[in-house]
Amino acid sequence: MIRVLIVEDQKMAQENMEAIIRSSENYTLAGMISNAADAELFCMRGNVDLILMDVCTARDESGIDACAVIKKKFPHIKVIIVTSMAEHTFIEKAKEAHADSFWYKDASRGELLTVMDQTMSGETVFPDKTPEVKLGLTTSYELTNAELDVLRALMQSTSDEDAAKMLSCTKSNIRWHVGRILDKTGYRTRMELLIAVASKNLIIVTPDKALADNDS
């Protein structure tokens, strides 16, 4: 039996993944914890073959950061990053952390078992794109990478000047992109746009990052 550790802080998601594991003859539940920082200690006991690791866990601990540590210390343990958030950088960050696979929680139970089977057989499974997010009159798929970069910079800064420095461009370039995004989405103000982006989890700014930017 393949021993699975669930790292997830949302009760409904915990129960869903536990039910998936218990429905299979190939997997058994090794444990369930809510904080990614505790996963390394769990792995040291030597009774884990596969981890289902949420991106954002209790106490704002990053599942992707924990994955990087675990894959370095325990390369034989397979890690599948799981999330319900459409944040477009998560897939690349998971790859950089040497995660074995990636799964969106809104997919079917059968799909997760398939990803688990493929991962344990040595395959890497990553989605081709993030979930589509409705944003005003348009969707996230209609925004260019440059426009998403500008939105991220604005979420992490307090002025156009700071955002321009982050992207190595000019303030006028930032304002031009913002105007384009407002035209596409139909939002009337920049604040309305940024609130929508944050509420839909299209771009995630960690508390530590936001604090650091406000203090600078």
Q: What is the pLDDT of residue 215?
A: 42
DSSP 7: E
- pLDDT of res. 206: 56
* Amino acid 210: pLDDT: 39
Write the CATH number of the domain with boundaries 2-120: 3.40.50.2300
Q: So what's the pLDDT on residue 212?
A: 40
Is the pTM above the cut of 0.85?
no
Main-chain dihedrals φ then ψ at residue 189, nearest 5 degrees:
-130, 160
Distance CA 136, CA 31 (A): 41
Specify the pLDDT at position 170.
Answer: 94
Give me the pLDDT at residue 157, please. Answer: 87
- Per residue, the 3-state secondary structure of 113-149, as one string, reads HHHHHHHHCCCCECCCCCCCCEECCEEHHHCCHHHHH
DSSP for 18-79, written as a single string: HHHHHT-SSEEEEEEES-GGGHHHHHHTT--SEEEEESB-GGG-BHHHHHHHHHHH-TTSEE
- C-alpha torsion sign, points 143, 146, 148, 153: negative
In this prediction, residue 58 carries a pLDDT of 79
Instruction: Please tell me whether residue 127 adopts helix, strand or coil conformation.
Output: coil
Q: What integer pLDDT is reported at residue 98 of this predicted model?
A: 97
- The structural domains of the chain, with segments of one domain joined by +, span 2-120, 134-215
Could you tell me the CA-to-CA distances from 79 to 50, 64, 95, 110, 119 in Å, in that order? 6, 10, 11, 18, 8
Q: Which amino acid is at 98?
A: H
Strands 138-139 and 134-135: antiparallel
Q: Which residue has the tokens 């839909």?
A: 200
The CATH architecture one would assign to domain 134-215 is Orthogonal Bundle (1.10)
- Contact yes or no for 3/37 (Cβ under 8 A): no
CA distance linking residue 173 with residue 46, whole number of Å = 52
Mean pLDDT for back-to-back runs of 10 residues, the chain (216 residues): 94 92 94 92 92 88 93 96 86 94 84 94 92 91 92 90 93 95 95 92 63 39
Token pair for 135: 């944003």
